Structure 1
Amino acid sequence: MTIASFHSPSRRSAIGRLASLRVQPTIVLSIAIVALMIAWSITPGLFTNHDPINGVPAHKLLAPSAENWFGTDHLGRDLYTRVVYGTSSSVSSALIAVVIGVVAGGLIGLLAGFFGGWVDIVFARMVDVLLAIPKFLLAVIVVTAIGFDTTNAAIATGVSAVGLFARVMRSEVIKTRQATFVESSFLLGGSRWHILWRHVFPNASRSVLPLAVLQFGDSILVIAGLAFLGYGDPPPASDWGLLISIGKDYLKWPWLVYAPAFVTIATVLSVNRISRWLRKTD
Structure 2
Amino acid sequence: MTLASFSAASRVTAISRLTALRVPPTVAFAFAVIAIVIAWSLAPGLFTNHSPVVGVTAEKLLSPSAAHWFGTDHLGRDLYTRVVYGTASSVTSALIAVVIAAVAGGLIGLLAGFLGGWVDIVLARLVDVLLAIPNFLLAVIVVTAIGFDTTNAAIATGVSAVAVFARVMRSEVIKTRQAIFVEAAFLMGGSRWHILLRHVLPNASRSVLPLAVLQFGLSILVIASLAFLGYGDPPPASDWGLLISIGKDYLKWPWLVYAPAFVTIATVLSVNRISRWLRKTD
TM-score (norm 1): 0.94
Counterpart Cα distance in 1 of 2:234 and 2:140: 16
Counterpart Cα distance in 2 of 1:17 and 1:153: 40
Partner secondary structure for residue 166 of structure 1: helix
Counterpart Cα distance in 2 of 1:53 and 1:20: 47
Structure 2 residue ranges without an equivalent (≥5): 1-13
Once structures 1 and 2 are overlaid, which stretch shifts more, 15-24 or 249-258? 15-24
1:150 aligned partner, one-letter code: T
Are residue 91 (structure 1) and residue 63 (structure 2) matched?
Answer: no
Give the Å deviation of 1:19.
Answer: 4.2
Aligned twin of 1:103 = 103
Aligned twin of 1:66 = 66
Structure 1 residue ranges without an equivalent (≥5): 1-13
Counterpart Cα distance in 1 of 2:257 and 2:27: 27
Counterpart Cα distance in 2 of 1:16 and 1:239: 42
Partner secondary structure for residue 161 of structure 2: helix
2:225 aligned partner, one-letter code: G
Aligned twin of 1:264 = 264
2:244 aligned partner, one-letter code: I
2:110 aligned partner, one-letter code: L
Counterpart Cα distance in 1 of 2:208 and 2:191: 25
Counterpart Cα distance in 2 of 1:17 and 1:144: 48
Aligned twin of 1:153 = 153
Aligned twin of 2:231 = 231
Counterpart Cα distance in 2 of 1:263 and 1:58: 26
Counterpart Cα distance in 2 of 1:134 and 1:177: 31
Q: Which deviations, in whole Å up to 9, do the C-alpha atoms of 1:205-252 show, x marking residues without a partner?
A: 000000000000000000000000000000000000000000000000
Aligned twin of 2:3 = none
Aligned twin of 1:172 = 172
Counterpart Cα distance in 2 of 1:198 and 1:59: 61
Partner secondary structure for residue 230 of structure 1: coil
Give the Å deviation of 1:163.
Answer: 0.1
Q: Which deviations, in whole Å up to 9, do the C-alpha atoms of 1:132-188 show, x marking residues without a partner?
A: 000000000000000000000000000000000000000000000000000000011
Aligned twin of 2:215 = 215
Aligned twin of 1:247 = 247
Q: Percent identity?
A: 85
Give the Å deviation of 1:21.
Answer: 1.4
Counterpart Cα distance in 2 of 1:125 and 1:17: 43
Give the Å deviation of 1:18.
Answer: 5.7
Partner secondary structure for residue 23 of structure 1: coil
Aligned twin of 2:191 = 191
1:182 aligned partner, one-letter code: V
RMSD: 1.4
Equivalent residue pairs, number: 270
1:236 aligned partner, one-letter code: P
CA pair 15-82 structure 1, distance change in 2 beyond 3 A: closer
Aligned twin of 1:52 = 52
1:256 aligned partner, one-letter code: L
Q: Which deviations, in whole Å up to 9, do the C-alpha atoms of 1:262-281 show, x marking residues without a partner?
A: 00000000000000010000
Give the Å deviation of 1:20.
Answer: 3.0
Counterpart Cα distance in 1 of 2:245 and 2:19: 46
Partner secondary structure for residue 22 of structure 2: coil
Pairing 1:8-157 to 2, within 5 Å after superposition: 19-157=19-157
TM-score (norm 2): 0.94
2:49 aligned partner, one-letter code: N
Counterpart Cα distance in 2 of 1:92 and 1:55: 26
Counterpart Cα distance in 2 of 1:74 and 1:15: 52
